[in-house]
Amino acid sequence: MIPSYQKNNDSLEIKQERAIYASPHIHEALEIIYVTEGTMELGTEADLFYLGKGDLALIFPSLIHHRKELSSDHCSCMTILAAPSFFGSYEEPLHLQRPINPVIKSTDIHSDVIYVLSALSEANTGNTPYTNKHQNSFNHVWIQVILSRCIPLMDLHPRESFRDFTLVSKVVAFVANHYRDHLTLQQVAKEVGVSRFVLSRAFSNDFHQNFNHYINSVRLEHATALLADSDEPIKNVPEACGFRSSVTFNRVFMETYHLTPRQYRQKYHVS
């Protein structure tokens, strides 16, 4: 998942993927995560939640979120990104409210939701992001079914009652556009209009990691996209993603994914 402020005007994207790690990011789409294997930690802004096999999470639009797998082996999930055109009558609560807890446990998920997820999964035959351009009316109905069965189970509160994450949003957007550059904490702090001490505290409290780790995680996500979804020569990937040396790239890649870049491409590359 590439971290940025993404805009999808009228698309339904579906992906079956391993939930290795997704750094803090934000988009206008509704994100639905359904865990099919293993366990996952999900962060929405400053809060952390845990999902096991069969659990589902609804991440409302324009909320900072991140995730990582917790299983000793691996965690797999089905991820759906539904553009605002799919919100229907739920547009107002999705934009003006947010759930105290975005997770619905497997025992509470309605059978209609399971049916819809199965149907959408069958429509996606590959491991790459999928935009269904056919049977558009059915897609809208299916998302409405998920919303109608899941939102009543959630405790929704006005967004104003939560902490202001304007600073976090600015950082995510800036890094998404400049991750290829040589970035320092001081430079990013200046760009978003705060001191480096305030920004450092934001990384500790809201990103749950330090500045360098976050920048590397953003670059690594772009690297894995190049390795899995393109034929870009591996030797070109570090520079293309903002790493100043292949040695640093290989080290942090192995620390994060426990695979070399070449092994990752062999395992996940889409032919």
Q: How far is CA 192 from the centre of its chain?
A: 22
- Look up residue 148 and give its amino acid: S
Average pLDDT, integer, range 246-257: 93
Q: Is the predicted pLDDT of residue 161 greater than 80, yes or no?
A: no
Calpha distance 242→262 (Å, rounded):
18
Cα distances from 162 to residues 10, 95, 158, 192, 266, in angstroms, run: 29, 14, 8, 21, 44
pLDDT averaged over every residue in the chain: 85
Point out the least confidently predicted range of 42-51, 128-137, 139-148.
128-137
- Summarize pLDDT for 105-132 with one digit per residue, the tens: 999 999 999 999 998 888 765 444 444 4
Q: Which residue has the tokens 């409302």?
A: 60
Q: In sequence order, what are the residues at sequence separation of 6 or more whose Cβ sits closer than 8 angstroms to the Cβ of residue 128?
A: 15, 229, 270
Q: In sequence order, what are the residues at sequence separation of 6 or more whose Cβ sits closer than 8 angstroms to the Cβ of residue 54?
A: 35, 105, 106, 109
- Say what the pLDDT of residue 1 is: 40
Q: Is the predicted pLDDT of residue 66 greater than 80, yes or no?
A: yes
Report the DSSP beta bridge partners of residue 58. Answer: 32
Considering only CA atoms, which of 111, 214, 109 is closest in space to residue 154?
109
Point out the least confidently predicted range of 33-47, 88-102, 132-146, 246-260.
132-146
Q: Is the predicted pLDDT of residue 267 greater than 60, yes or no?
A: yes
In this prediction, residue 65 has a pLDDT band, given cuts at 50, 70 and 90, of confident
Calpha distance 173→215 (Å, rounded):
12
**Residue of 50 and 135 predicted with greater confidence:** 50
- Summarize pLDDT for 2-31 with one digit per residue, the tens: 333 344 456 888 888 888 778 777 788 899
Do residues 205 and 196 touch, judged by C-beta distance below 8 A?
no
Q: How far is CA 171 from the centre of its chain?
A: 16
Calpha distance 60→268 (Å, rounded):
29
In this prediction, residue 182 has a pLDDT band, given cuts at 50, 70 and 90, of very high
> Within a 10 A sphere around the Cβ of 58, how many other Cβ atoms?
21
Query: What is the gyration radius of the CA atoms in the chain, in angstroms?
Result: 19
- Summarize pLDDT for 230-244 with one digit per residue, the tens: 899 999 999 999 999
In this prediction, residue 71 has a pLDDT band, given cuts at 50, 70 and 90, of low
204-221 b/e with 16+ CB inside 10 Å = b? Answer: eebbbbebeebbbbbbbb
Q: Give the alpha-carbon dihedral of 255, 256, 258, 264, to 10 degrees.
A: -130
For 164, list phi and psi in degrees, rounded to 5.
-80, 120
Angle at 184 between CA 183 and CA 189, to 5 degrees: 105
**All domains in the chain, ordered by first residue:** 5-161 (2.60.120.810), 166-268 (1.10.10.60)
